[in-house]
Amino acid sequence: MILVTGATGLVGSHLLVQLLQENEEVKALFRSEKQIEKTKNVFSFHNQTALFDKINWVKGDIIDIPSLEIAFEKVTHVYHCAALISFDPRDEDELRKINIEGTANIVNCCIDFGIKKLCHVSSIAALGNPKEHETSITEETEWNPEELHSDYAITKYGAEMEVFRGHQEGLEVVIVNPGVIFGYGFPKRGSEVIIQSVRRGTSFYTKGFVGIVFVDDVTKCMMQLMKSDINGERFTLVGENIEVKKLLKFIAKELNVKSPSINATKSMTSIAWRLDWLISKIANRKRKITRNTAAALHETLIYDTSKIKSEFEFEFQEKEEYLKTILKH
Domains belonging to the chain, first-starting first, are: 2-186+213-241+302-319 (3.40.50.720)
Q: What are residue 8's phi and psi, to 5 degrees? A: -105, 15
pLDDT of residue 299: 77
State the average pLDDT for the chain: 89
pLDDT of 159 reads 97
For position 146, what pLDDT does the model report? Answer: 84
For the chain, what's the residue count? 329
Give the residue from 121, 124, 127, 180 showing the smallest Cα distance to 319. 180
- Measured between its terminal Cα atoms, the distance across the chain in Å is 33
List, as one string, the DSSP characters of 126-182: GS----TT--EE-TTPPP-TTS---HHHHHHHHHHHHHHHHHHTT--EEEEEE-EEE
Average pLDDT over residues 105-121: 97
Closest CA to 159 of 107, 118, 111, 202: 107
Given a cut of 90, whether residue 125 has pLDDT beyond it is: yes
Percent of the chain past pLDDT 70, that is, above it, reads: 95
Q: What is the pTM of this model?
A: 0.91
For the CA atoms of 108, 228, 43, 60, what is the dihedral angle to 10 degrees?
-10
Rounded to 5 degrees, what are φ and ψ at 112? -65, -35
Residue 277 has pLDDT above 70, yes or no: no
* pLDDT tens for each residue of 12-31: 999 999 999 999 999 999 99
Mean local confidence (pLDDT), 41-58:
92
> Which of the residue ranges 3-7, 15-19, 24-28, 288-292 would you say has the lowest mean pLDDT?
288-292
* pLDDT for the residue numbered 29: 96
Q: What percent of the chain shows pLDDT beyond 90?
A: 58
> Which residues, at least 6 apart from 224, have a Cβ–Cβ distance to it below 8 Å?
312, 314
Q: What is the pLDDT of residue 269?
A: 74
Cα(36)–Cα(70) distance, integer angstroms: 19
